[in-house]
Amino acid sequence: MSCGAAELRITFSPGRVQLVQEEEVVPGGPRVLVTGATGLLGRAVCAEFLSIGWSVIGTGYRRARPRLLRCDLTDEDAVRGLLHEYQPDVIVHCAAERRPDVVERYTEAAVNLNVHATSMLAKEAAVCGALLIYISTDYVFDGRNPPYGEDDSPNPLNVYGRSKLEGERETLRHCPGAVVLRVPVLFGEVESVMESAVTSLWVKVEASESCTLDHCQQRFPTDARDVATVCRKLAERARQHLFFFSWLFAHLSVSQDPSIKGIFHFSGKEQMTKYEMAVAIAQAFNLPSNHLIPLTEQPVAAAPRPVNAQLNCSRLELQNLGVEPRPFTVAITDCLWPFTPDKRWRQTVFH
């Protein structure tokens, strides 16, 4: 999604940065660059900023589509040129390889995106003076002593968690004014039910044959739209403080707004296993759940998962930057009704 994309004069060689489709320029207003804009969270972030009148440009790569920029974030020249041309006020870095088992199998490619590309983006964000919001994960923790505050020591159990933790460190090393926003498993307005580990449970709920579901790992399913709102609130707060802190910079040698930088946590509040999520989905759609069987032993997977990596979100809440999530059954119903066999289901139930 983009507003103001036509003002970009991209001159890099093919395959680095290219406009998929030009858009009419929207003059003035703050500008936000969203990486990974083809993904679940990236789409929600683009929609959130567009809704308040920001000029938004999203980047994608393999899944780039009309109204997006195709950009290889592992190409340093492409990243530098992109930021130089667009001069964003805010960058929300959603792009990542987020599937733990895939990261275990294709470690080099995942680290290239999750760590090296993040490092380059942080360097360039610092140069252009943009607020960088880096999306991280609860998987930086081992899950043995929840809930985890922002200052608790990370101890990731898998390569994915280690790559995201290293991305955090690179972000704050090269761009000390950046924000790291850790979030748990996400769901939202998916293009396919398989896009999220939460909405993918629909396949098992809908099936008639018996199936087992993990009833060991504690998760906190979180709506991507709520995460997008938090990103918007962080960006708006940073801009509200801009003029005030500019005066402080000039007169008192203050170099940074201490309230909008560093690590923040955001999470849904309902604690659920995959089995409990699936049962809740079945109940929300008035479907049977007796074919769903809880598995109380830790499932075998390529990447080990923390048993309970609950995030303490008090820093956001103390600064009035949090969001009160809708109940899980309400939010998941909103996301899954388009995938019901009878698309009139929503009207039948809600009207």
Q: What are the catalytic residues?
A: 160
Strand partners, 249: none
Q: How far apart are CA 180 and CA 149, in angstroms?
A: 13
CB 217 within 8 A of CB 31: no
3-state secondary structure of 111: helix
| Nearby residues of 49 by Cβ (< 8 Å), 6 or more positions away | 32, 34, 56, 232, 235
Backbone angles phi, psi at 92, to 5 degrees: -110, 110
Reference 86, options 8, 20, 15; nearest CA is: 8
- The C-alpha angle 35, 37, 39, rounded to 5 degrees, equals 115
Strand-pair category, 186-187 with 222-223:
parallel
- The alpha carbon of residue 124 and the mean position of all alpha carbons in its chain are separated, in whole angstroms, by 20
| DSSP assigned state of 148 | B
Q: How far apart are CA 290 and CA 133, in angstroms?
A: 43
Q: How far apart are CA 214 and CA 297, in angstroms?
A: 8
